[in-house]
Amino acid sequence: MLISSCLNGCYGNEVSPAPANVDFALDVTSEPLTANGSSLIKSGIIVAPTLTGAFIAVSSACTHQGTTVQFQSTSSSFYCPNHGAKSSQNGSVTNGPASKALAVYTTTLTGTSLRVTS
């Protein structure tokens, strides 16, 4: 029974597609985005400030099995606590077992308003 379920699901579990038709705005003065090492998740997208003061936004669901990734501010990268996958700030996988990049969204800062779009 266990072997049977692993053959069907230990690798490559279905993961929901990355959010599409994204268009929302955030106030960057909100607490989660101003604190060092901070990030926030909205509509399936994790938004975080980089070391250079820019903002990055990627899909928050790990492409391996869908666990919510965490932002690592010291390297401006994303880490999945489930099996240890890592992705760079451009979404590309730098450490498996995930094999597909996180979706990246466009961020546009106007004053204190950060617009995130696909």
| 80 lies in the site for ligand FES, by CB under 6 A | yes
As measured in angstroms, the least distance from the Cβ of 95 to ligand FES is 9
| Euclidean distance between CA atoms 37 and 64, whole angstroms | 24
| 85 lies in the site for ligand FES, by CB under 6 A | yes
Find the part of the chain contacting ligand FES (CB under 6 A) among 2-10, 45-53, 77-85, 107-115: 77-85
Q: Are 76 and 49 in contact (CB under 8 A)?
A: no
As measured in angstroms, the least distance from the Cβ of 112 to ligand FES is 33
Residues within window 32-71 making contact with ligand FES, judged by CB under 6 A: 62, 64-65, 67
Q: Are 60 and 68 in contact (CB under 8 A)?
A: yes
| 11 lies in the site for ligand FES, by CB under 6 A | no
| 103 lies in the site for ligand FES, by CB under 6 A | no
Q: List the beta strands (DSSP E) in the chain.
A: 23-27, 40-42, 45-49, 55-59, 70-72, 77-79, 86-87, 93-95, 104-110, 113-117
Among 83, 106, 109, 117, binds ligand FES (CB under 6 A): 83
CB atoms within 10 A of CB 101: 16
CA atoms within 13 A on the CB side of 33: 22
Residues that bind ligand FES in the complex, under the rule CB under 6 A = 62, 64-65, 67, 80, 82-83, 85, 97-98
